[in-house]
Chains A and B, each alone.
Chain A
């Protein structure tokens, strides 16, 4: 039985990262350092999911504090048969917050079970809910009919453009995207609850003033935090973190 589990949210299956990396390099020609997977898992922990074969006697998760040696290896490190590695676009050229599927694959031996579809749906929903992504984008080889069927027919993606020679071997890619705004959280409702709560908690609370400004402020903050990323496969946070990393105490 194959279970779809979160990679690094709750509960965390982050210890499966080496297995996910192996799943990727077994299935696909586009490969990454483990650090790049870590970068995804630690920057957008809500967006990536992993498909594993349920161990015969169930999982034995490490207790959060210290659980070395709990259960058998098979129960701690179940077989990974698929994953979706996803992120939010860091510098969207169109200025619209949107998600991006960095990599998705399912072992050939575990196809036709709807695993890829489920992985995609989980990630898409999280993009909309957690990051208010307007849409999700991805690239797919023009020759990959199975994937194209999944994205276009099953999930509802549309082809945006054809990117010529996108892949290292010279093949073109379809750039596809799908709108996610229907899954956004209802912020007005949350704000209403905030106000209710504030009114209840503190009788003298001054309500209804800040609400309109809040979203904006944060957009600015996000801009400040933005990080530059190289496109390609061999990247890690070493290239990503801002420059003050090892700045000396001069000046």
Chain B
């Protein structure tokens, strides 16, 4: 029912709207209440009041009010619109879209409703809906350029490149004179059209267009890049050469330009002489650049390599460039080059005049300390590792330059590779103290504390650079500033300590940060149209679609899933760290569990007290808004989940979708789906992993486990599932296969590879439980391998836990490992 107001109230209502627009919330509410006094059931006023309350953070009350408004006036577009806005504020976009559609049905001409609907369609990637909305908006206001651009974007993102180009051209044709050069919106729109053309594969047309319009486009570098790119793709070599030469003259620090230039010049990749000459010419032109000196080290061989490497090394060592080793290590996959570099730097030290107090010696100190530093990193690197030599060299470097942060930092890294994180953290702390104003080394020191499972010290370090007055202190600030690296490391440290609640707490925090980043794009759907920077906007939209492909997400998802798997397999872990489940004395375990529960209660009480103390103090944020305290700071609610596997799926789904080629992700997917009894999905993961790396050791064990699962199902799979699963699995591990033979063949094919040996042994003891003692012995024998790393050896120790081996077997293994790596702490069993 339309609910007319008296003219006085109608004018008050307009005031409410104005107050809302100006964010004068209190005035808005007051005025609305004035109207409601006389018209208590006035839907539109109720709705406006609800909207203002929602903006003030009172979501629940706002929703109740908005529903009441709708009840009173189902035919009001304002009520529906507000209802949609409230849903949007809650990020329930589907319901918001429905509400907007109702509103639009009542008031088809409303621009604001149409616009709000369009924004959500974009956010939801409903491109067909978005195209419709943008068409309507264009018809309503064809004079606005951004309405044309928006429609073009809609077509472009929906995949209709021709239509996108057509829309842009249609608008351009309405321009009688070219807009001024300073009109960046125009400049960008023209360039955007060019990108659309190239993307449609019409590179020649795009080039022609760019040559016509490029001279008046303000993003000069982009025009140069695009032109060079097109020329090379069209094989117009002479022009491409000129284009890349021009780009290099702008920025000689971009190796991609050199790659392209060499192609344009048609220099064969075998013609090392010509290549070297080309790079030398650039060195002469820009003597300070790194790329033209560094790139030839990739292709040069033998004496040529030695000569070039010598010049390169000496120059950088003299300058004391700290990244020299990092810059060269990619050459190390070539053993000859690796040896040459080592030989060269060793020779510098052997022949260098020692610092004996003479002038020459003093000048040489930096060269010498840089050389020692280089060798320390060299011997610390996994392809050329000799930790004793690494330590010797770093100590010499430190002796020459005791204040050099990088040297001390390297010493800490050597300790890390020794498997002694305690010592590593200690040494990194020393590095931090050499330059307490530098956050980089502070971050490193904090990271090493976390690697040493010392969460408190880690945070303590971080707090030297955080805004500790933030709600939640330093940790609160790290959350607010979206410090994903710290939250991930902190969570992983808790995971290693089996403090699953806190681990999950951190992993979810990172998950939520990714949600925020996805949400962040929303405002740009309108903002970017006004700004007119369309290419960047379109790139952003596409990036957002694969946001969780980023390694930061992968890492946190993997860890979170591992935590949930532990929790599923041993629900008692919800109460805190417990000794390993199987094989332990039952009464011992009960005692441990009791203790853990007590500790958990103690921590919760402590946390509650802290919260009370903080409540007493002020909790107002900088902007005067009240920040909410976290009701579950220890992650107790997370860890007490009824269904850990279901929670794991939340992390797993984006992982599998965006990183399908990660074997680790697929193997984790298998673990989750197998436990959930989703055999088809578990198998899908196995197949995907198999396609990437058929002989992956984790996959090998999983194949056997899946076979055994299928052979011993408590009740048969549904016929359709069984048919598909059996047929598919037949290609991976045939039913008729003799499993022992299959496993033996795997083990002998990969006899030099320890992780594969470990997998083979795991399978053997699964197939023949009475072979376990022998398998345990064989596992210990893998420690004799020359190639085994500390990490792999530690994985072997964890394997014994998995097998349910006796304490004696574990001790024997650990002792042997300790003998091999006396500095390592991971094998010291308490």
Q: A-side interface residues toward B, CB under 8 Å?
A: 1-6, 8-12, 14-15, 17-19, 21-22, 25-29, 31-35, 38, 41-46, 53-54, 56, 58-59, 62, 64-66, 68-69, 73, 76-77, 81, 107-115, 118, 122, 125-126, 129-132, 143, 168, 185, 187, 190-191, 193-194, 198, 210, 214-215, 217-219, 221, 225, 232-234, 236-238, 240-241, 243-251
Contact = CB atoms under 8 A, between A and B. Distances in A.
Given A22-B484, A25-B481, A42 B536 contact: yes
A112 B366 CA distance: 14
Given A12-B535, A114-B288, A248 B112 contact: yes
Contacts of A43: 531, 533
B279 to A, nearest CB: 12
Given A214-B181, A249-B112, A68 B549 contact: yes
A10 B535 contact: yes
A250 B44 contact: yes
B660 A218 contact: no
30 contacts: A1-B255, A10-B219, A17-B543, A22-B483, A25-B443, A27-B443, A38-B521, A41-B540, A45-B219, A108-B322, A108-B441, A111-B321, A114-B253, A114-B288, A129-B220, A129-B221, A130-B184, A198-B177, A214-B179, A214-B180, A214-B182, A234-B480, A234-B481, A237-B527, A240-B523, A247-B21, A248-B20, A248-B85, A249-B78, A250-B78
B517 A129 contact: no
A95 to B, nearest CB: 16
Contact of B221 (A9, A12, A243): A9
A244 to B, nearest CB: 7
Contacts of A8: 536, 539-540
Nearest 8 A/B pairs, CB to CB: A214-B180, A45-B536, A12-B539, A10-B222, A108-B440, A249-B110, A237-B523, A8-B536
Given A42-B533, A109-B323, A130 B181 contact: no
Interface in B173-218: 177-184, 195, 199, 215-216, 218
A233 B483 CA distance: 14
B122 interface: no
A249 B531 contact: no
B594 interface: no
Residue among B113, B255, B660 with max Cβ neighbours from chain A (10 Å): B255
A59 B290 CA distance: 18
Tell me what chain B mostly uses at the interface: helix, strand, loop, or mixed.
helix
A217 B288 CA distance: 44
Given A26-B439, A28-B439, A122-B251, A194 B322 contact: no
B482 interface: yes
Given A6-B225, A25-B485, A241-B523, 10 more contacts: A8-B536, A9-B225, A34-B517, A42-B531, A42-B537, A45-B536, A54-B255, A62-B546, A115-B253, A241-B527
B14 A251 contact: yes
A240 B251 contact: no
B528 A42 contact: yes
A76 B659 CA distance: 12
Residue among A125, A236, A250 with max Cβ neighbours from chain B (10 Å): A250
Interface string B425-453: 00000000000011111010000000000
B220 A5 contact: no
A73 to B, nearest CB: 5
A210 to B, nearest CB: 6
Contacts of B14: 250-251
Nearest to B549: A68
Interface in B156-178: 159, 177-178
A22 B322 contact: no
B297 to A, nearest CB: 10
A245 B634 CA distance: 37
B220 A245 contact: no
Interface stretch (B550-558, B568-576, B582-590, B736-744): B550-558
Contacts, number: 282
B660 A110 contact: no
A99 B22 CA distance: 30
Interface string B94-110: 00000000010001001
A19 B485 CA distance: 10
B219 A9 contact: yes
B299 interface: no
Contact of B520 (A4, A34, A56, A69): A34
Given A3-B254, A4-B253, A143 B437 contact: yes
Contacts of B530: 225
Given A38-B524, A42-B531, A190-B181, A248 B439 contact: no
A125 B253 contact: no
A210 B533 contact: no
A77 to B, nearest CB: 6
Interface in B35-88: 44, 47-48, 51, 77-78, 81-82, 85, 88
Nearest to A31: B481
A219 B47 CA distance: 40
A7 to B, nearest CB: 9
A232 B23 CA distance: 21
A167 B23 CA distance: 30
A43 B530 CA distance: 10
Contacts of B222: 6, 9-10, 46
A1 B289 CA distance: 11
B8 interface: no
Contacts of A14: 536, 539-540, 543
Interface string B382-406: 0000000000000000000000011
A5 B253 CA distance: 9
Contact of B527 (A2, A46, A69, A240): A240
Nearest to B289: A114
B322 A111 contact: yes
Contact of B551 (A66, A77, A125): A77
Contacts of B221: 6, 9-10, 46, 122, 125-126, 129
A246 B622 CA distance: 25
Nearest to A36: B520
Nearest to B157: A65
A185 B517 CA distance: 36
Contact of B113 (A44, A132, A194, A249): A249
A112 B320 contact: yes
B411 to A, nearest CB: 15
B7 interface: no
Nearest to A132: B182
B295 interface: yes
Nearest to A207: B177
A194 B181 CA distance: 10
A198 B216 CA distance: 14
Contact of A15 (B22, B521, B550): B550
A130 B219 contact: yes
Contacts of B48: 248, 250
B661 interface: yes
A35 B536 contact: no
A218 B550 contact: no
A1 B535 contact: no
Given A12-B536, A42-B536, A248 B22 contact: no
Interface string B459-502: 00000010100000000000011111100000000000000000
Interface in B405-428: 405-406
A17 B250 CA distance: 24
A68 B215 CA distance: 35
B291 interface: yes
A65 B88 CA distance: 29
A44 B659 CA distance: 31
B135 interface: no
A219 B327 CA distance: 47
B103 to A, nearest CB: 7
Nearest to A27: B440
Nearest to B79: A248
B294 interface: yes
A28 B405 CA distance: 17
B124 interface: no
